[in-house]
Amino acid sequence: MRRLALLLAGLALLVAPAHADVEIGGEAYRVVDMHLHPGGFGRFPASGRQFVIESLPPFVRPYAPALGNVIIDPWAEHIGIREQTEMAGIDRAVLFAVYAPESTGWFTNRELEAVLTDPRNVREDGTPWAWGFASISFHDGYLEEGVAERRLEALASYFEAHPDLFIGIKLAHAHQQVAFDDARYLGVYDVAAEQGVPVLLHTGFSPFPGTRKEPEFYDPLGLESVVEAYDGTRGMGRVDFVLSHVGQGDARAVEHAIGLAERHDNVWLEVSALGGPETLDERGERVEGDGPQLPDVMQAIRDRGLTGRTLFASDGPQFSGKVRSYLGEVIEAAEAAGWTPEELRGLLAENFERAYLAGDAS
């Protein structure tokens, strides 16, 4: 059932007329933004709200709660998520459920289901504008007897009910206060293997209040034993792992993310949130970076032959215009690193379609 739904979705992409694209070198390119957060500003804990407000220009800060709620509303007029993607020339989107009450708040699977099944989630050709990544709460008694089993069953139910809309799982270990190799939480990968969906994971150092700052919570090197266990050859099934942010902020985590993708064909790289400077160097010491990490990361991916397993995403919407501006930065960095037009097409849409819409294809 699920593979049939994904196959039909993939075929629809091939035959449906494009409704949005970007122009690069006089050619039109389709774009999928696979990392967008709906929700509400009030869902952030107080420390998170303060962090966001202080990052804004002073004249904007009094309006942050109202503007924040509108920008992360998928359907808000003018500056909502769909409007932001259309402004950027992005054809399709992926929206996330989130369970991180101590850092970035929450947006439940049920709430995401309501967005995805909303009559407005359709393009002129009848296909969805947005797909969804479900998540799971590791808080509030997850380790108590019977709780994990019930939550894992609930997680699986969304893929069974809507195989054409829920196409992946999203985890954020640093935000969810769980180490990558903590065996008590590995059942989520069994669900991914059974349902045939990839798992996207936050990687990299985050300055956001409420996140864990120790490497075992954000450095993907801690994932390697899990990646190996679910490579499809050891009786555990196959899971594709998408490393969001490529370990950003910590030079060690960036190298480990790229190295994992080199060593394992079930590891993909997702290049959102690389616009800031490096925070920790190769020795784990604090540094004052003076430029974005994105150019160096895009060059390393190209040099190490990983363009075919690299995916564009913005981690938006953040603020009005951010999705569009970050897309431009990624394209500029890829071109400067010598990515070919074919590699750019993969980065912007086609690699995503192979990872998420083509069943076992990778």
Task: Quote the strand ranges of the chain, DSSP E.
Answer: 22-24, 27-29, 32-36, 92-96, 98-100, 105-107, 130-134, 166-171, 199-202, 241-244, 267-270, 310-311
Stretch 71-100: mean pLDDT: 97
* CATH number of the structural domain spanning residue 332: 3.20.20.140
Q: What is the pLDDT of residue 2?
A: 53
Give one word for 182, left, alpha or beta, with left for phi > 0 and alpha for psi -120 to 50. Answer: beta
CA distance between the termini of the chain = 20
Predicted confidence (pLDDT) at residue 181 exceeds the cutoff of 50: yes
Express as a percent the part of the chain with pLDDT over 70.
Answer: 94
pLDDT tens, position by position, 301-344: 999 999 999 999 999 998 889 999 999 999 999 999 999 999 99
Q: What is the pLDDT of residue 64?
A: 87
- Please state the three-class secondary structure of 59-107 as a single string: CCHHHHHHHHHHHCCCCCCCCCHHHHHHHHCCCEEEEECEEECCCCEEE
Q: Residue 23: inside a domain, yes or no?
A: no
Question: Which residue, chain included where needed, has tokens 């924040």?
Answer: 68
Domain that holds residue 283: 2-15+29-357
Predicted confidence (pLDDT) at residue 7 exceeds the cutoff of 60: no
Q: Are 122 and 129 in contact (CB under 8 A)?
A: yes
Q: What is the pLDDT of residue 17?
A: 43
Q: Give the pLDDT band (50/70/90) at residue 19.
A: low
Other beta carbons within 10 Å of 320: 17
Spatial CA neighbour of 116 closest among 91, 87, 96 = 96
Two structure tokens written together for 230: 């679910």
Q: Residue 20: inside a domain, yes or no?
A: no
* Range 333-358 burial, b when 16+ CB lie within 10 A, else e: bbeebebeeebbbbbbbbbbbbbbbe
Q: What is the pLDDT of residue 139?
A: 96
pLDDT tens, position by position, 198-243: 999 999 998 889 999 999 999 999 999 999 999 999 999 999 999 9
Q: Residue 61: inside a domain, yes or no?
A: yes
Predicted confidence (pLDDT) at residue 273 exceeds the cutoff of 70: yes
Cα(242)–Cα(351) distance, rounded to whole angstroms?
12
Predicted confidence (pLDDT) at residue 11 exceeds the cutoff of 80: no
Cα(137)–Cα(155) distance, rounded to whole angstroms?
10
**Prior bond to 207 cis, omega within 30?**
no
Cα(79)–Cα(82) distance, rounded to whole angstroms?
8
Predicted confidence (pLDDT) at residue 360 exceeds the cutoff of 80: no
Greater confidence, 203 or 361? 203
Q: Residue 104: inside a domain, yes or no?
A: yes
Q: Residue 24: inside a domain, yes or no?
A: no
Q: What is the pLDDT of residue 301?
A: 99
Q: What average pLDDT is seen over the chain?
A: 93
Express as a percent the part of the chain with pLDDT over 90.
Answer: 83
Predicted confidence (pLDDT) at residue 16 exceeds the cutoff of 50: no
Q: What is the pLDDT of residue 349?
A: 98
Angle at alpha carbon of residue 323, lines to 321 and 326, rounded to 5°: 105
Q: Residue 347: inside a domain, yes or no?
A: yes
Q: Residue 21: inside a domain, yes or no?
A: no
Query: Considering its fold, how many domains does the chain have in total?
Result: 1
Residue 21: φ, ψ to 5°: -160, 175
Spatial CA neighbour of 279 closest among 289, 265, 268 = 289
Predicted confidence (pLDDT) at residue 8 exceeds the cutoff of 70: no
Q: Residue 22: inside a domain, yes or no?
A: no
Most confidently predicted of 19-23, 34-38, 206-210? 34-38
Other beta carbons within 10 Å of 290: 7
Q: What is the pLDDT of residue 27?
A: 95
Predicted confidence (pLDDT) at residue 143 exceeds the cutoff of 70: yes
